[in-house]
Amino acid sequence: MEISSYFKSIIDQDKSPVVICDTDHTVIYMNPSAVERYAAAGGKSLVGKSLLNCHKKSGDIIKEVLNWFAQSTENNSVHTFYNEKENKDVYMVALRDDDLKLIGYYEKHEYRNRDNTEFYAMK
Domain boundaries, the chain: 16-111
Global confidence as pTM: 0.89
| Residue from 1, 4, 40, 46 nearest 107 by CA | 46
Q: Tell me the helices (H) and strands (E) count for the chain, helix number first.
A: 3, 5
If you average pLDDT over every residue of the chain, what do you get? 94
Residue-wise pLDDT for 13-52, tens only, equals 999 999 999 999 999 999 999 999 999 999 999 999 999 9
Is the CATH code 2.60.20.30 the one for domain 16-111? no
Which spans in 14-118 are helix H?
32-37, 59-71
Residue-wise pLDDT for 92-121, tens only, equals 999 999 999 999 999 999 998 888 889 998
